[in-house]
Amino acid sequence: MLCQRCKKRDALIHLSGGSPGFTGHKSKHYCRECADTYFARTPGMNSARDLIRLSDFYRSKLYDELESEFREAFDNSTSEACVRGSELMRRFLKKRLAEDNIKLNSDGFDMLLHDFFGSRHFYDRLDRIKAKRLALSCSSRERRRAGAG
């Protein structure tokens, strides 16, 4: 289905009477660019903008890269560490989206950023990393004890 506004690109965003913030009776079908314009210009629609999310596959791929390149991004041991991790993740996501030629306005980027480190997926990953660190810490203590005995 083509975008009903530009009639050039595939419609990827579909709004209906059941969509948050949508009060019209007719369905609307937009490409990403035209949906961005619609959301930005329609009062009350910015609350519906949180519907923009990263796919599970893409988010997981980004977490894998982030974990291998910037392990400190998953450090939330102190308030300062959280701030540093958040800023690192912001820069990382902006760079990766640009490399993948994903263009967003600031609202769109903020929604994806919120999804990137505000979702349960982030906290699931954080818990797995903490469990790995704990297991490594325990095994190294056991090796030290075994070597001392």
User: Rounded CA gap, 97 and 81, in Å?
Assistant: 24
For 127, half-sphere exposure in the C-beta direction (CA atoms, 13 angstrom radius) is 6
Whether the model pTM is above 0.75: no
Q: What is the pLDDT of residues 2-59, one digit of tens each?
A: 889 999 988 877 776 544 444 555 778 888 788 878 877 765 555 555 567 888 899 9
* DSSP, res 46: G
Amino acid, single-letter form, for residue 26: K
